[in-house]
Amino acid sequence: MHPFGRHGDVSALEMGAVAARAALADAGLKWTDIQYAIGGSFEVDNPDAVVAFLGLTGIDFNNVYNGCATAGTALSLGVQAIRSGRYDRILVLGMDKHPTGAFTADPTGYACPAWYGEMGYFLTTKFFGEKINRYMHDYDISAETLARVAAKNYANGALNENAFRRQPLSVEQIMESRMVNYPLTQYMFCSPDEGAAAVVLCRAEDARTYSPEPVWVRSVEVRTRRYGAFEVHSPAVPVERVPAPTTDVAVAAFEAASVAPGDIDIAQLQDTDAGAEIIHMAEVGLCQDGEQERLVAEGATSIGGRLPINTDGGLIANGEPIGASGLRQIHELTLQLQGRAGERQVPGTPRVGLAHLYGAPGTSAVTIVSR
Amino acid sequence: MAKRSIADGLFTWPLPEPPTKPALIGARCSLCGAVTFPQAPGCPRCGETQMEAFDLPTQGTLYTWTTQEFLPKLPYAGLETLENFTPWAVGYVQLADLIRVEGRLYDVDPTDLDFEMPFEVVVRPFTSDEDGTEVYTFGFAPVVERG
């Protein structure tokens, strides 16, 4: 990994090279050993340009972008390439360097009419406020629970040397910070930032060559929204509801991995805001709708709890360099499953981990790994 | 002063004479019955392309909302500045059992909002073009009981 945060004049590609070298070193590999690479980014047109820093070896190198699920897509393509037998050693890399402030884009590029942006509606933060407000009403979730989720993630970030925000914040400080989109306050949101992360993939039978304790990819799935899901950037939604893409993709990932939600020992969920972590806990299948109020109050999702979530601080403490964000989750799960997470190590060394991404316009990815 | 709608085919335009109220214009799939707003060339449920325009109900109830407490970046076309921006409410209003449409919530203090509160479609001036043409858009306002 290259730490997430703000890094002055350091370019996204330079951060990408740092992350790539760190992942290669961890696997005892050199760049010249890599046969295929996949690079994910929002801001960098051609992540493959990182070869200028790593070495011009002439390999097959694809670039991907799939919103906030970019890293899930990159990982999925890498896993497919291993499974197909085409390549044995692959580098999956993500990098980004975003300007400050909420993301903005041309609505017509998201199948939204131009007027939707002109009227000020093309804002992800606004949608998250609308979705969690209804969810809190339907399932009796309190504003304190939103703040407790954010406080947990800042506390975890304080233990993570690669995190952007390392200052613990109290529930009171979070609740009293500036309202952004009711009921979500400033400190309940993540920020776009800068950073890079990378993962080396190899064939399962070769894994012990590169690591004494390899982490196995059990499944990676990506899904888009179906008709009736209540998702971001929607001028209107049907009254009939179907499960969110996060639920669809989690069901598919559990099935492909032959793992049940109850088998998950640790999870990294897309916490674009504190409400998103709460909703995603249920959408992924780790709890029932409404159980979050009690689970969060009990500390079940803290590092010492029975279902630790966002142990490295999640997006709230790390910010979101889009291309790298999901690979940060895999990096964290790898450290935790290998027992190398230091001060923030989950007790008992977890065996099965889940990583989840969600982004506009309703795309989700879930990866399940085990040791 | 010249006036225009923010987009064609979005709501009744030119505005009808009171007491007739403006309606949002949706589309219904002739094959599966799915309803869209705004009108769409294809059906989001079945993928077919036999969509027919129709006026959506003009009243409904509030499904959910949030407040917009910061000035949106471009392409926002509102006339406020960082100095004079005041937060507004925006939410989804469910029109009968047909569809939930997102829009600005006018004439209401955000702290007074509640789930299932009755709202009706309104068309209001929103911004103006460089030549002074007033640009109208749609939103929702609480239904006023007439006694």
Q: Is the pLDDT of residue B147 over 60?
A: no
Confidence class for position A117, pLDDT limits 50, 70, 90: very high
CB contact under 8 A, B102 and A115: no
CB contacts, 8 Å: B90 with chain A:
120-121, 126, 130
CB contact under 8 A, A179 and B126: no
Could you tell me how many CB contacts below 8 A there are between chain A and chain B? 109
CB contact under 8 A, A118 and B77: yes
Structurally, at CATH architecture level, domain A2-100+189-370 sits in 3-Layer(aba) Sandwich (3.40)
Chain A: give the shortest CA distance to residue B91, in Å. 7
- Nearest-CB residue to A115 (from B7, B45, B110): B7
CB of B99 within 8 Å of a chain A CB? The answer is: yes
pLDDT value at residue A195: 98
Chain A: give the shortest CA distance to residue B140, in Å. 14
pLDDT value at residue A103: 72
pLDDT value at residue B134: 97
CB of B110 within 8 Å of a chain A CB? The answer is: yes
Domain ranges of chain A: 2-100+189-370
Chain A's closest residue to B47, CA to CA, is A227
Q: Is the pLDDT of residue A234 over 70?
A: yes
pLDDT value at residue A350: 97
pLDDT value at residue A57: 98
pLDDT in tens, A87-116: 999 999 999 999 987 777 889 988 899 999
pLDDT value at residue B1: 81
pLDDT (average), residues A232-252: 96
pLDDT value at residue A147: 98
Residue from B13, B39, B69 to probe the interface with A (highest A Cβ count within 10 Å): B69
CB contacts, 8 Å: B102 with chain A:
121, 130, 234-236
- Nearest-CB residue to B102 (from A121, A129, A137): A121
Residue from A98, A112, A126 to probe the interface with B (highest B Cβ count within 10 Å): A126
Please give the mean pLDDT across all residues of chain A: 97
CB contacts, 8 Å: B127 with chain A:
118
Q: Are strands B99-105 and A236-238 parallel, antiparallel or unpaired?
A: antiparallel
pLDDT in tens, B104-123: 999 999 999 999 999 999 99
Confidence class for position A204, pLDDT limits 50, 70, 90: very high
The least confident of A18-22, A138-142, A359-363 is: A359-363
pLDDT in tens, B35-50: 999 999 999 999 999 9
* Predicted complex ipTM: 0.96
pLDDT value at residue A105: 81
CB of A348 within 8 Å of a chain B CB? The answer is: no
pLDDT (average), residues A146-172: 98
CB of B108 within 8 Å of a chain A CB? The answer is: no
pLDDT (average), residues A180-203: 98
pLDDT value at residue B146: 61
> And the tokens for B9?
């085919």
pLDDT (average), residues A233-257: 97
CB contacts, 8 Å: B69 with chain A:
178-182
Chain A: give the shortest CA distance to residue B145, in Å. 26
